[in-house]
Structure 1
Amino acid sequence: MKSPLQKRLESGKTTITAEIMPPRGTDVSTAIEHGKKLKEYVHAINVTDCSRAIVRMSSLALCKLLKDEGIEPILQMSCRDRNRIGLQADLLGANALGIQNLLCLTGDPVRIGDQPDAKPVNEYDSVRLLEQVASLNNGIDPVLKELPDGSTNLFAGAAADPNCKGFDGLRRRIERKKNAGACFFQTQMVMNPKVLERFCKEIAEPLEIKVLAGVFLLKSAKNADFINRVVPGASIPESIISRLDKASDPFIEGKKIAAEQINDFLSLTQGVHIMAVKAESSIPEILNRANINLKQT
């Protein structure tokens, strides 16, 4: 059985995804409420896995809770915090819980998080994790010849950064991920349509990969400056920062910019992936501004 996300992407239809963060604690009510509201606007919801090396509830746990609410989850899995046995166990567990969609990530370095003295694992990187998923899907046991209790049925994707300055290296990395089993790619935030166009025409299209372009909600010029300083690979143009700075209401302007990007990016890719950190409730408004109707896509 294919997941609804897999069926949609394979059909070639426009696909909209978004992401939410698990709580830093045990109260999941806000996260679940975000998920319920987004259900009417997106086809699937990513659940981040301690992004930026900051501890939050298990992505797997929140994905299961969203699944129970009839919401299509995408489990983000970082290699930073678990060795191969831990990753293998979580993959088997996710499949048993009916969570099929997976985004394989190497993970942000521990040093940028709020527990910089924690010990990173990184026995696998995203490519090796993708290979592990493919192996389990094929019924191959990590030690024995075959899984004695059944294979997995996981739909794995990976991340891509079109802003990467080493374009030949980026092409090789994307090719490795595809060959390892990546069935779709969600990109990091993109602020320049020309950057995305080059990525699509020179890498994605020749490799025949499905791309969901990353749209990031900027809240102010200060917010944009901060992201440029601390987020690896971020490249927010001065023109956008200036536009936010001059706006009478920067937050509303940020929503307008995100809506414009959605329309620009959908002419280049199969879909978009919307990131609105700590402002997930704004995603429906952004999609409405972009005139995106889930029933019409």
Structure 2
Amino acid sequence: RAVMRMSPFAASLILLRHGIEPVCQFACRDRNRIGLQGDLLGAHALGIQNILALTGDPIKAGDYPDAKAVFDLEAVRLLKIVGNLNRGLDGNDKPLPDGAVDLFVGAAVDPQCKSKSGLERRFEQKIAAGAQFFQSQLISDFDLLEKFMYQIANGYQKPVLAGIFLLKSAKNAEFINRNVPGVEIPQHIIDRLARSSQPLQEGIKIAAEQVQMASQLCQGVHLMAVKREDLIPQILDLAGIPALAIDSPHANII
């Protein structure tokens, strides 16, 4: 949502230093092709391999609506540039001084897109441009996710991570419906949160149930617990997802 937070580049490096393999997001909204390529080369040099190539949400959706957007590229063109870097070439098809990089690049997908033909066309464009995995937008309709997986995605054998959002209250769910394009939290979920005397705990249960549903359809999840990332282990435990052994004395702080 174009909200100012720590650089994904820096956050990814912190995670890497704690033994956790990150997925670093690169948004075309904030940098031109020179800056993007420089940071991609820097990410590779520092051992950050997984890249999520995004166009980026519009500036007016965030907390600095008067900031200046860049959008020198969009997601498909950024994917192609990463492909070039992996072949040892820059965006102008000139050889890189230090040779090819080895980046594993993915892209975003919205299984709830109202146009199936548009969804399929954009998905195929991103695969043709080099996408090796996909992270979905916030999923609220698991029937649409199932249709997308069986009718489109499974034929390409690219891993898909479903976006699961921690809803903290009925008011939070209503805010999402008003402000996040393409997402409609079902009324029965809103009612369930409204009825609960502990809406946050109910939201944790809902997220865990959605993790379980997603695990039957796709290859993983992208958990979004905005400002309550500390609750992610609780969601995963409730969903029955076994913990990974992290070889780091500081891993428990992440």
Instruction: Report TM bin, short chain.
Output: over 0.9
Residue-by-residue CA offset, 1:40-77 (whole Å, 9 max, x unaligned) = xxxxxxxxxxxx22222221122112212222111101
Counterpart for residue 85 of structure 2: 136
- Which amino acid in structure 2 is aligned with residue 83 of structure 1? N
Structure 1 gaps, min length 5: 1-51
How many angstroms does 1:234 deviate by?
Answer: 1.4
Give me the whole-angstrom Cα distance separating, in 2, the residues matched to 1:295 and 1:56: 27
Superposition pairs for residues 161-172 of structure 1, below 5 Å?
A: 161-172=110-121
* 2:51 alignment partner, one of 98, 102, 114: 102
How many angstroms does 1:80 deviate by?
Answer: 0.3
Identity rate, percent: 57
* 2:175 alignment partner, one of 216, 220, 226: 226
Superposition pairs for residues 112-123 of structure 1, below 5 Å?
A: 112-123=61-72
TM-score (norm 2): 0.93
Counterpart for residue 252 of structure 1: 201
CA contact (8 A) 1:163 1:235 kept: no
Give me the whole-angstrom Cα distance separating, in 1, the residues matched to 2:210 and 2:118: 26
Give me the whole-angstrom Cα distance separating, in 1, the residues matched to 2:13 and 2:148: 34
Which secondary structure state, in structure 2, belongs to the residue aligned with residue 80 of structure 1? coil
TM-score (norm 1): 0.80
Counterpart for residue 14 of structure 2: 65
How many angstroms does 1:113 deviate by?
Answer: 1.7
Counterpart for residue 28 of structure 2: 79
State whether structure 2 residue 137 is matched by structure 1 residue 207: no
Structure 2 gaps, min length 5: 246-254
Which secondary structure state, in structure 2, belongs to the residue aligned with residue 123 of structure 1? coil
- Which amino acid in structure 2 is aligned with residue 97 of structure 1? L
Counterpart for residue 198 of structure 1: 147
Which aligned segments of 4 or more residues in structure 1 are displaced greater than 3 angstroms? none
How many angstroms does 1:144 deviate by?
Answer: 5.4
State whether structure 2 residue 246 is matched by structure 1 residue 294: no
Give me the whole-angstrom Cα distance separating, in 2, the residues matched to 1:65 and 1:256: 29
Which secondary structure state, in structure 2, belongs to the residue aligned with residue 53 of structure 1? coil
Residue-by-residue CA offset, 1:110-154 (whole Å, 9 max, x unaligned) = 112222121111011011111100010011133353112121110
Q: 1:141 to 1:257 in 2, by over 3 A?
A: same
Give me the whole-angstrom Cα distance separating, in 2, the residues matched to 1:118 and 1:251: 33
